């Protein structure tokens, strides 16, 4: 039998998003209880920019055999340098205001200084806190190498779709911008294998990697404990470069 939160996702509950949001901690499971309510893409994992090979946002092979680089139920998508010595993993939740703030402020600077230059390998890995996160991640995963563009669109419009009277329809409206039809959207939300994979990724993060909230960063396998601004992350990256 499918999980309750799964049934609610398919049914399209119009519950207020504020009911789902308990802050950006990992303990938001309450939001998934009874009270709450493919586009064609390239499969080439990298491209050449000058003399630096860059990932294009599609699925990649694990960097090494470290558990942190082998998420349960999920295949990482990457940006940045294919041959980079530094790997930055962000566990991200689309409904987390702190994640949205990071992607609006520090991330553009990180991207310009380290991702676009190939200095780091950057991985945004899903961590669902509630049913809305599930819907967003399912759409992004189905977008192939548009994964990062889709996540960026949801991050930039977080306030709009989260505060909508019908968040599910608002999530679909964003998906339409990337060519998703209503039929495709419904198909994605009934993908049990994808759903189960996202749940496995979440459980591994909680039980093996000590994740307590979002955003959480791991740099070359080490959990980053500093501030989520450009200065803090930049210093940590430079230490490992």
Residue ranges per structural domain of the chain: 16-37+44-240
Is the pLDDT score of 135 beyond 60? yes
Which helix (H) or strand (E) segment holds residue 80: the answer is: strand 77-81
CA distances 152 to 25, 77, 108, Å, are 21, 14, 11
pLDDT at residue 116, rounded to an integer: 98
Sheet containing 77-81, strands listed edge to edge, beginning at the edge strand earlier in sequence: 46-49, 52-59, 77-81, 120-126, 86-92, 216-219, 222-223
Average pLDDT value for residue range 86-97:
98
pLDDT at residue 51, rounded to an integer: 83
3-state secondary structure of 65: coil
Q: What is the largest CA-CA distance in the chain?
A: 54
Is the pLDDT score of 114 beyond 90? yes
Tokens 């600077």 -> residue: 109
Given the candidates 3.40.50.850, 3.40.30.10, 3.40.640.10, 3.40.50.970, the CATH classification of the domain at 16-37+44-240 is: 3.40.30.10
* pTM for this prediction: 0.83
CA angle 209, 24, 37 (to 5 degrees): 110
């Amino acid at each position: 039998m499918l999980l309750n939160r799964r049934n609610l996702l398919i049914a399209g509950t119009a519950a207020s998003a504020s009911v789902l949001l308990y802050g950006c901690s990992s303990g938001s499971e309450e939001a998934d209880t009874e009270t709450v309510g493919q586009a064609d893409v390239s499969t080439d994992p990298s491209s050449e920019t000058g003399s630096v090979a860059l990932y294009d946002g599609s699925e990649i092979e694990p960097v090494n055999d470290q558990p942190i680089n082998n998420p349960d139920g999920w295949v990482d998508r990457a940006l940045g340098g294919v041959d980079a010595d530094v790997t930055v993993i962000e566990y991200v939740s689309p409904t987390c205001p702190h994640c949205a703030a990071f992607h609006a402020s520090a991330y553009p600077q990180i991207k310009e200084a380290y991702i676009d230059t190939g200095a780091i390998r950057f991985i945004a890995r899903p961590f669902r806190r509630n049913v809305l996160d599930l819907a967003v991640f399912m759409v992004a995963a189905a977008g192939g190498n548009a994964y990062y563009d889709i996540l960026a669109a949801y991050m930039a419009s977080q306030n709009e779709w989260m505060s909508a009277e019908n968040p599910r329809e608002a999530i679909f409206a964003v998906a339409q911008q990337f060519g998703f039809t209503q039929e495709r959207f419904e198909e994605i939300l009934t993908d049990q294998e994808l759903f189960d994979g996202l749940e496995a990724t979440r459980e591994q993060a909680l039980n093996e990697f000590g994740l307590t909230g979002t955003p959480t960063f791991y740099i070359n396998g080490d959990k980053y404990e500093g501030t989520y601004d450009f200065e803090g992350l930049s210093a940590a990256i430079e230490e490992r470069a």
